[in-house]
Each structure stands twice: as C-alpha cells, then as structure tokens.
Amino acid sequence: MRDRVRVPGSTGRARLRRRAVDVIRREPPAYTPRFLHRDFHPGNVLFTGAGANLRISGVVDWVETSWGPADLDVAHCSTAPALLHGVPAGMRFAEEYTGAGGRLAVSGADHLYWRLLDAPAYAPDAEKVAVPWWELGRTDLMPEVLTARLEWLCGVPARPVRLIGVIAATPHHDVAAGSRRSLRSMRR
C-alpha cells in the first residue's frame, strides 16, 4: 500500500511532498462523524448585506454530501482562500470555524492529516480555482503562484484548535476511507 502513494518527480520541494505523503499514508485519525458538504468553498456560499451587515444567507451545491470528519470540510474550505489570498488567510478559516462554535480534531497532527488528505485534489490543476478570479481581474494568480501556495499550505504545521460546541451526526458513509481510496488512485 505504501508504494502506491508516490511523490511527483517534477517538484522543487520533494522533501516537503515526501513528508506530506508520509502523513497521509498513516491510518486516519479517530473522528466523530458529521454531515459534510464536501465541496464547501467560498464560491458555494451565498451572502446578503454589506460591511458590518454582511451575513451568510445560504450554501449551495450539495451534490457531494457525505458523513465524515468536520476537519475535511474545513480543510477543503481553507484551501480556496489560501490559494486566492495566501496561506495565512486559509489558515484563519479553521480558527474562525472553531471560534464560531465548530469542533475540529484536538491534535494538530490529526488536523494536518485531513488538510493533507484534501489538498492534493487541487494539485493537478490548482489554477481551475483561479479561473473565475482571473476573469474578475486577479491576474496575479498565475499557476506558479498557486502551486507555491498549495505547497506552503501543505507544509504549515497545524496548531491544536480549541473545542467549542458539538454538532452531532450519525454515521452513514465513511468519507475518510473513501477519500483515502480516491487519493491512492490519483497517485497510481
């Protein structure tokens, strides 16, 4: 199994990628299953109001829902702001999530596992995230910038997050096992 996950040969940061592959090769951390969106990113969030009155009015595109760790949805939603605005912006999402009452893995290593499990999905074409932003004038989001930000995101150690509030759910579909299988098939 370990031989199926390989580091791409054409990377300037092979050591970082090897470390990331080593992290995701381990068994998934224990987690409390939650209802997941699985394509949760800023483009799927609707807003109303402006400035201090800006509020979320809805979330769209629910076709990939499943059960799994909240960390996986938070990791996915953190990647888009990291690509668009830099890694610190992406990392703030998890802090805001827990500050609003969300619950993530206690261990920074466990949170990193879920982030690294999600991030490679962007690797083959991270620039697809940027296409709508290019059309809006964000021409700074060149493929090499996005690749560097994605690699940086994968290399940032996770801080343990505080646990506030719980959203309980009953497991139905184990997204962690499915995501690991998907990742392995991508690496073959």
130: domain CATH number is 3.90.1200.10
Q: Give yes or no for a contact between 84 and 128, defined as CB atoms under 8 angstroms apart.
A: no
**171 in any annotated domain:** no
Give the tens place of pLDDT for each residue, 67-115: 999 999 999 999 888 888 999 998 898 899 999 999 999 888 898 899 8
**159 in any annotated domain:** no
Provide the H-helix boundaries in the chain. Answer: 14-25, 70-85, 87-99, 108-118, 131-135, 143-155, 175-187
**23 in any annotated domain:** yes
For the range 86-93, what are the long-range contacts, defined as Cβ-Cβ under 8 Å and sequence gap of 24 or more?
86/149, 87/149, 87/152, 87/153, 87/156, 90/153, 91/153, 91/156
**7 in any annotated domain:** no
- The pLDDT-based confidence of 13 (bands split at 50, 70, 90) is low
pTM of the model: 0.71
Specify the pLDDT at position 10.
55
**166 in any annotated domain:** no
**40 in any annotated domain:** yes
Beta bridge partners of 67: 35, 174
Range of lowest pLDDT (21-30, 57-66, 142-151, 169-178): 169-178
Give the chain's domain count: 1
Give the tens place of pLDDT for each residue, 131-140: 888 888 988 9
**167 in any annotated domain:** no
Domain holding 123, by residue range, is: 12-154
Q: Which two tokens stand for residue 144?
A: 């090499």
Q: Give yes or no for a contact between 186 and 21, defined as CB atoms under 8 angstroms apart.
A: no
Longest dimension (CA), the chain: 52
**179 in any annotated domain:** no
